[in-house]
Amino acid sequence: MSPKCAWVHYSAVFQSSVGCPLSMCHLSQHQLHDLQKKYIPTLLNKIGVARTHAQVLVFGPRSYGGIGCNNLCIKQGLDAVQNLIRQLRTPGYGKQLATILLRTSQNASGLSKSLLQYPLIRAPHLEGHHHVHIQRYLAKHKASLEIECIPEPTYERPGDAYIMDVVCEPETETEMDRTRLKYYTNAEKSIKSTIAKAI
C-alpha cells in the first residue's frame, strides 16, 4: 500500500467510522487510547515514518511540521462541546432538549455556580455522563462555557449559601462519600420544593 493510499484510508475510513459518534459517547481516555494504539503505528509504518515518532509530531498540525493525525481524546471533547454549542444556537427541538438537560443538571447539582462556566467546581455526586464528561474536558483544558439558559443564583438574604456549595468544598468533600453527598442534594431539593409551595 502506498503512503497516499494509507493516508486516504486513515482519513476516509478510520476517522469517519471511529470519529463520527465520539461527540455523543463517553469513552474514557484509556478506551480511546486503545482504539488508536494499534492503528496509528501501522499507519506510520505505511507512510514511511518510524513507529516511535514523538506523539507531539504525530498529532501535531501539518502546517507546523506534524503528521496531522487526530488524537481521539481531544477530538471527543471538542466534538462534544461543538455539538452542545450547535444545539444551543439552532432554534427548535434540539435546543429545547439541550436547555432542559443543562437546567436539570444544574438544578440536580444543588450548586450555585454553573458547572460549565466554572468547570473546576467539584461535584462528585452528579449522575449521568454527558454533562460530567463536558465539565471534565473543560476543566482539563482550562476552558469554560457561559450559557444564558442557566439562571443566575438567587439569595434571599446576605450571607446565604447553597448547601452543596458548602458540602462540596475541597476540605468537606474529602471527608464524605458519594452516598452522603447524595443525601445532602436530596435534602436541598426538598427544602426548595417546600419554599416554592409556601410562596
What pLDDT does residue 14 have? Answer: 86
Residue 69 burial (C-beta neighbours within 10 Å; 0-12, 13-18, 19+): buried
Q: Scanning the structure block, which residue is given the C-alpha cell 478510520? A: 14
Summarised one tens digit per residue, pLDDT across range 143-184 is: 998 888 887 887 788 877 877 777 777 665 555 565 665 665
Q: Which three cell numbers stand for residue 142?
A: 482550562
Average pLDDT, the chain: 81
What pLDDT does residue 42 have? Answer: 87
Distance CA 32, CA 169 (A): 31
Summarised one tens digit per residue, pLDDT across range 28-45 is: 888 888 888 888 888 888
Q: Which three cell numbers stand for residue 71?
A: 488524537
CB 142, CB 134: distance < 8 Å: no
17-21 long-range contacts, CB within 8 A, separation 24+ = 18/72, 19/70, 19/72, 19/75, 19/79
CB 81, CB 138: distance < 8 Å: yes
What pLDDT does residue 196 have? Answer: 52
Per-domain boundaries in the chain? 3-71, 90-198
Q: Scanning the structure block, which residue is given the C-alpha cell 471527608? A: 175
